[in-house]
Amino acid sequence: MTELGRILTEDELADALEDCDAIIIEFDPLTKKVLDQAKNLKVIASVRGGAHANVDVDAVTKRGIPIFNVPGRNQDTVADFTIGMMIAVSRGISKGNLLIKNRVITDDKTYVENGFCVTDVNWVGSTPEKFAYLQYKGPTLAGKTMGLVGFGAIGRETAKRALAFDMKVLAYDPFVKQEDISADIRLVELEELMAESDFVSIHLPVNDGTRGIVSAEILGKMKPTAYLINTARAAVMDYDKLIEMLQKDELAGAALDVYPVEPLPNNHPLLELDNVVLTPHIGGCSMDPYDRSYDKLFTELSLFLDGGMPEKVYNPEFANY
């Protein structure tokens, strides 16, 4: 037996699966080596939108084993988080929180500016113009333009939320047609999206077509007043260029949940910037996706074990073997 709360090694997983007919899996390495020892395995339930991250799908398929998965399991969770990151970075919520918790208070004077009295809020400097109230005047979302790089399930949920804030929404996705989406959302080329958007949010998977697509050249087209949010994957974007732009105030700010190296090293330049909000790859985490995922997988496994088959499986080619 192995303890709970960590990813199993290949050998540990192979031993655990020796007599199993089915497995529910999320992170553990279901490799060909493991499969070769799991002689009785008949079905795999992956608690992920895409099983390729930890399952050798080709080997599984050639064994004639179906994979059930949960596409779009956390689309609303990530969309909520994206909007939260957008507001946090543009309205100084994260910086304001740190300001109070770090007790950055210089004195307790009372100032009256244009008829407005400010008392005991001199948390960033000794003159009225440096008050937090005056310094953290970020943009109101209504009327601003949000650009979504990628318009799959998460991008569409994010668009719905942006529209509810009375934002204009642009989207880039070469696999989507304008006639298939809401007229409130305008499909454009990536260069136009970057140049016109006040907020750019990344919602792309990593594959051969997307790796590095948000290049230095593409980033350079953004407005200096714009913000960038990435809750997707680091490999789709040039982080060196992004950091350079943030250091030179060529962008208003960025909110990042994913990084080229995780966790970030102690000397990483992002840690020195005060125009970024950083979170530890938690955009897809909430209780609801897991409840929905296990409900769906339980239903599909029950159907399979009773001799049926769900309408959709992750690897439909399994039936050819």
- pLDDT of residue 96 exceeding 90, the answer is no
Provide mean pLDDT across the span 85-91.
96
Q: Where are the extended beta strands (E) located within the chain?
A: 22-25, 43-46, 67-68, 110-113, 116-119, 145-149, 168-172, 185-187, 199-202, 227-230, 253-256, 276-278
Query: What CA–CA distance (Å, rounded) separates 315 from 57?
Result: 7
Domain 10-71+286-318 is found in CATH 3.40.50.720: yes
Q: What is the pTM of this model?
A: 0.81
Residues forming CATH 3.40.50.720 domain(s) in the chain: 10-71+286-318, 75-92+138-278
- The pLDDT assigned to 152 comes to 93
Residue 132: which pLDDT band, with cuts at 50, 70 and 90?
A: low
Residue 307: which pLDDT band, with cuts at 50, 70 and 90?
A: very high
- The pLDDT assigned to 98 comes to 80
- pLDDT of residue 21 exceeding 80, the answer is yes
- The pLDDT assigned to 38 comes to 94
Structure confidence by residue, pLDDT tens digits, 169-212? 999 999 999 999 999 999 999 999 999 999 999 999 888 999 99
Structure confidence by residue, pLDDT tens digits, 40-86? 999 999 998 888 889 999 999 999 999 999 987 889 999 999 999 99
Query: What CA–CA distance (Å, rounded) separates 283 from 74?
Result: 9
Show which residues are catalytic.
233, 262, 281
Instruction: Give the tokens for residue 125.
Output: 């400097």
List, in sequence order, every residue forming a beta bridge with 68; answer none if it has no partner: 45
- The pLDDT assigned to 269 comes to 97
Query: What CA–CA distance (Å, rounded) separates 92 from 277?
Result: 9
pLDDT, greater one: 138 or 171: 171
The CATH label, of 3.40.50.720, 2.40.40.20, 3.40.1310.30, 3.40.50.620, for the domain at 75-92+138-278 is 3.40.50.720
